[in-house]
């Protein structure tokens, strides 16, 4: 009897620790991304004072339903700092439909070969899942990966978009479970996972990776829909891109950053315990 009770208690604990989609209140607050865009415009002069880039190519992958226009503010900032920032050139991101992965691989290889340099990958939400898979398949062509609110761990359904994803992509979530299982594994290249606990689209716990010598999580304040132009997220991006090849160090919360950036968690499991 005691064993049965303990088993039932452990089952309830595991269920409690499973991530759930964000609350309706957080989902309803996503339009605050508009204010983050205004914040971006106000802080742009300061962001442009960041360390100049070395000119290496940066491939920016949009989130679900987004396209290259959605990442235009980020790409413009990076170009102003000296990076060769490029879009994915596939129109609206409607999911991993036939041909999408092949075209992304070609885009990555073309940038790598034409520049003679490794490419940094930045992926917003679903774009971050793509970025991690590209880096897993082609580490020789990738310098580092930065994901913005990308749910690549724990659960494929702890978000408010998976049913629409299935409808528009023509693929079921379960059919892509093998891909999902892969993208959460540690990468051969440096990886930074940016997340926000006030994400109204995906469960923030799913956006973390296991920290390691070249893997980190960085928390910012903001919305999911605004991460691509959130000044705090952009501060992380330009700081990460400015590092010389082979000299990657974790993002430092020092000076004014101590107040602006919460202390990030080290793993998805640690997030579930919160």
Each domain of the chain, given as residue ranges in start order, spans: 22-272
Closest to 235 (Cα-Cα) out of 261, 210, 255? 261
**pLDDT value of position 171:** 87
pLDDT for residue 17 = 65
Q: Is the pLDDT of residue 203 over 80?
A: yes
Interval 18-74: pLDDT, tens: 899 999 999 999 999 999 999 999 999 999 999 999 999 999 999 999 999 999 999
pLDDT for position 8: 47
Look at the domain 22-272 and name its fold: Rossmann fold (3.40.50)
pLDDT digits (tens, 9 = 90+) for 172-196: 889 888 888 899 999 999 999 999 9
pLDDT band at 148 (very low <50, low <70, confident <90, very high): very high
Predicted confidence (pLDDT) per residue in 4-17, tens digit: 444 444 444 444 56
Residues 37 and 99: their CA atoms lie apart, in Å, by 32
Q: What is the pTM of this model?
A: 0.93
- Report whether pLDDT(147) > 70: yes
């Amino acid at each position: 009897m005691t064993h049965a009770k303990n088993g039932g208690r452990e089952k309830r604990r595991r269920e409690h620790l499973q991530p759930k989609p964000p609350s309706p209140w957080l989902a309803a607050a996503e339009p605050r991304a508009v204010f983050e865009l205004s914040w971006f415009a106000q802080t742009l002069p300061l962001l442009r004072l960041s360390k100049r880039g070395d000119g290496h190519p940066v491939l920016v992958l949009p989130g679900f339903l987004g396209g290259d226009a959605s990442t235009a503010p980020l790409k413009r900032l990076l170009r102003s700092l000296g990076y060769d920032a490029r879009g994915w050139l596939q129109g609206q991101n409607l999911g991993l439909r036939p041909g999408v992965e092949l075209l992304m691989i070609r885009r990555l290889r073309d940038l790598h070969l034409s520049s003679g340099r490794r490419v940094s990958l930045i992926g917003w939400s679903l774009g971050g899942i793509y970025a991690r898979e590209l880096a897993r398949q082609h580490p020789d062509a990738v310098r580092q990966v930065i994901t913005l609110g990308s749910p690549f761990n724990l659960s494929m359904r702890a978000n408010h978009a998976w049913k629409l994803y299935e409808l528009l992509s023509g693929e079921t979530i379960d059919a892509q479970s093998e891909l999902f299982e892969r993208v959460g594994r540690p990468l051969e290249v440096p990886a930074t996972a940016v997340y926000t606990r006030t994400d109204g689209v995906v469960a923030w716990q799913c956006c973390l990776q296991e920290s390691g010598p070249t893997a980190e999580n960085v928390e910012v304040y903001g919305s999911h829909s605004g991460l691509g132009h959130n000044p705090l997220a952009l501060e992380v991006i330009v700081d990460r891109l400015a590092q010389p090849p082979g000299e990657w160090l974790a993002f430092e919360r020092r000076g004014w950053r101590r107040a602006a950036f919460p202390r990030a968690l080290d793993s998805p499991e640690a997030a579930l315990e919160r």
